[in-house]
Chain A
Amino acid sequence: MSLFDESRVVAYMSERLGAEALSITSVWKNLEGWSMETYSLGLSYRKDGRPVEQDIIIRKEPATGLMDDNYDVSVEFRVLSALNKTEVAVPKTYWYEPDPEILGGPFYAMEKVEGEIPFPPPASFDPDFRLIPDDQERQSLGADFVRNLALIHTVDWHALGLDFLGVPGTGAALMEVEYWEDRIARAGFGRKPMVVYAADWLKDNLVVSDRISLVHGDYRSGNYIKRDGRILAILDWELVHLGDPLSDIAYNLGPWRSAPPNSWVSHLLPEEEFLERYEEASGIKIDRHKLEFFHTLDKFKAVGIGCTAAGAWKNKQGLDLRIGVFSMTHYISNFGLLSELYKHHSASKGG
């Protein structure tokens, strides 16, 4: 177990769990993500005289990562712990450990939800590709997918104590634009004309948010665990915030779809069905005009993430080489943003 100082972790876990004769039977590091580090630990111990075999998930702040150096894993922990009190499918959290000495960074522990994570290709052009080959299972997952999104958007975040995420008021759209502008600036490439044009356009066309919800920020296939046709846990809450729920809707109608002609949202269900089910489950009416703004904001965010990856690649040592590959995709996201701006531009002539 070279990832940690094993004796130290054994002592720590024994004390935390009130365990005797604890040993670590397996360690698995998830290499999928490039930000927060995720480990699965297999533990074997005795408690109250009885043998226990337990797998737990550790989510740790990285020494270096894709986004920037402002990682705070306690945010995810607090949000997930709050959502444990709701019907949203999330893993049960155990504890948060701020001491960076134990594992090399603050972390939290949560239950290991057994199941599969269907991970879609980032761009699929094969019309016959099926992320979920069984139609009945796909429809069942589609229903759970929408239901959980509706639940997230309708939780009483104030009652759950989630105000600490920052309450944007009706200016949620401006806050998001400024947030991504700031992230792009922090990437350190100076001002880029396309970014400036897009930010100016977005600020000229801001929409007023009449509802503030808990927003996941990266809600899609690849970020849930399924088993027996049900979604058991929504994962990867790194971009969670309070904001306009349309932000998550626009993201879902973006690139994480199956290939045409189906173009299923997150490879699960048709767009119209997704929107209808969502409106019915959440009671939130989707304003299609406002949604257009969030589509553009979504493309702006994609450029922001690409810039951040490029900034990390340029300035940090020891990064996964795939971040370098990812940073190169900003050429694609730049073009996507411009296409979106052209769409509005053409419409302005018609109007």
Chain B
Amino acid sequence: MFISAEEYLQRISYALEHQIAPLVESDHARSQLLSAVFLLDQLTDRIDYKPDIIKQEIETNCETIRKVVDGLEQREGDVPGELKAFLEEIGGGAWIPDLALRRRCDEMLSMAIDAYFAARDRFDAASAYAMEDMLLGSLTQIASRDLGMFKPSTSQKILDSRG
């Protein structure tokens, strides 16, 4: 028998919202309880799919970094040595998709974006457009996924319990 974290959280959340909250008389206390329900609801997908989420971000960001570095090198723009070293390390394939690597990937992509904007005048209008299209597309891929997991949940009830 296996009950997923998502199912546990859903059952707890349901009980708090529908069985406990109606019994709480204080507006303030009820708003706190419903806030807890809201947060539990946000966590359900994020817990069960955590490794997939991290892996997807690392892969997407690394691919984006590679494209930025290629674009800069083609135009003889400055590419920080740290970025090249990172790509070589990742290219070796022996990496573990954990939170530390995801954070480092964020740092490296941030560095790549800075390097692109610093060298933007080396790109003609069409190439700059294509590069920015690729960057925005990559950022939107992650942001859309996160937004898709966002659940309005009890937000209106929290507002109604203002106190």
Contacts and interface: CB of A to CB of B under 8 A. Distances in A.
Interface of A: 31-32, 119, 121-122, 190-197, 200-201, 203-204, 320-322, 324-325, 328, 331-332, 334-335, 338, 341-342, 345, 348-349
Contacts of B133: 345
B8 interface: no
A204 B120 contact: yes
B44 to A, nearest CB: 13
Contacts of A121: 156, 159
B140 A342 contact: yes
Contact of B61 (A193, A200, A335): A193
Contacts of A341: 136
B129 A348 contact: yes
B114 interface: yes
Contacts of B162: 31-32, 119
Contacts of A194: 139, 143
Interface of B: 28, 31-32, 35-36, 38-39, 42, 61, 64, 103, 106-107, 109-111, 113-114, 117, 120, 125, 129, 132-133, 135-136, 139-140, 143-144, 146-147, 149-150, 155-156, 158-159, 162-163
Nearest to A322: B35
Contacts of B64: 193
Interface of B is mostly: helix
B129 A349 contact: yes
Given A31-B162, A191-B106, A322 B31 contact: yes
A190 B106 CA distance: 8
Nearest to A313: B39
B35 A190 contact: no
A335 B150 CA distance: 12
A320 B36 CA distance: 10
Contacts of A328: 38-39, 42, 150
A286 B72 CA distance: 39
Contacts of B28: 31
A119 B150 CA distance: 24
A348 B31 CA distance: 45
A200 B150 contact: no
A328 to B, nearest CB: 5
> Which one of B32, B42, B103, B132 has the highest number of Cβ atoms from chain A below 10 Å of its Cβ?
B132
29 contacts: A31-B28, A122-B159, A190-B103, A190-B107, A191-B107, A193-B106, A193-B110, A193-B139, A194-B139, A194-B143, A196-B110, A196-B113, A197-B135, A197-B136, A200-B113, A204-B117, A322-B31, A325-B39, A328-B150, A331-B143, A334-B143, A335-B140, A335-B143, A335-B144, A338-B139, A342-B140, A345-B136, A348-B129, A349-B129
